[in-house]
């Protein structure tokens, strides 16, 4: 009589063969190459903090309070001389230019607010303004002869006595090499302009005579 399994007996479990894991490509050499490449590659460095550079608020001369600004703005900071200021006062000193006059000269020469003119240019500018040592001596002599007040707030006789040892100085407006070259260039431009005008006039006459 054949044996039958009882209802409580467990049935044998069927085991399936396990599958071996393999690389995605199925090629072990490709996996080895990728691992070697990963080990050779340098790790990415973290970005450095950016250095924020603030714009310079000053010009070439950091010790000057006027550096980095235009001559026009610098003139607005200075006190303009009153219209009735006397010659020889602090607004119109005999032997030097005021800060406002220096800025005016810089603007006329198209320079920046810290440019310094030469001594020759300053002397020529003083003569153009009716000042300088020669004009100082002439005005003082005239005031003594007429008995009028002579203004000299700088007190040149006390502060610069060396100037009176040999007060005779050559007259005329002092000039330097740059001023001579500028004058020559101006004359050349004017001469070329006159030449062009003459050529235009001559050409116009020839055209009219041809009709």
Report the predicted TM-score, pTM, of the whole model to 2 decimal places: 0.51
pLDDT at position 138 is: 93
Is residue 123 within 8 Å of residue 132, measured between CB atoms?
A: yes
Which whole number is the average pLDDT over 162-166?
79
SS3 category, 66: coil
Residue 179 corresponds to which tokens in the numbers above? Answer: 């001023």
Among residues 206, 125, 112, 106, the alpha carbon closest in space to that of 173 is found at 125
Higher-confidence residue of 155 and 47: namely 155
* Mean pLDDT across the chain: 74
- Return the axis-axis angle of helices 177-210 and 119-128, rounded to nearest 10°: 60
Do residues 133 and 163 touch, judged by C-beta distance below 8 A?
A: yes
Q: How far is CA 137 from the centre of its chain?
A: 41
Query: Closest Cα to residue 81, out of 90, 68, 73?
Result: 90
């Amino acid at each position: 009589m054949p044996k039958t399994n009882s209802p409580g007996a467990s049935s044998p479990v069927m085991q399936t063969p396990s599958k071996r894991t393999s690389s995605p490509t199925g090629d072990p050499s490709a996996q080895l190459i990728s691992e070697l490449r990963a080990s050779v590659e340098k790790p990415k460095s973290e970005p450095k903090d950016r250095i924020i550079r603030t714009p310079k608020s000053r010009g070439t001369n950091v010790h000057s309070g006027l550096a980095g600004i235009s001559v026009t703005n610098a003139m607005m900071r200075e006190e303009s001389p009153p219209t009735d200021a006397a010659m020889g006062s602090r607004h119109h000193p005999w032997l030097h230019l005021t800060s406002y006059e220096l800025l005016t000269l810089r603007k006329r020469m198209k320079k920046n607010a810290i440019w310094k003119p030469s001594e020759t240019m300053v002397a020529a500018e003083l003569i153009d303004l009716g000042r300088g040592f020669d004009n100082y001596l002439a005005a003082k002599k005239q005031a003594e002869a007429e008995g009028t007040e002579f203004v000299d707030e700088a007190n040149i006789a006390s502060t610069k006595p060396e100037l009176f040892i040999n007060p005779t100085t050559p007259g005329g407006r002092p000039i330097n090499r740059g001023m001579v070259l500028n004058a020559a260039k101006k004359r050349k431009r004017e001469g070329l302009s006159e030449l062009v005008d003459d050529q235009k006039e001559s050409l116009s006459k020839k055209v009219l005579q041809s009709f």
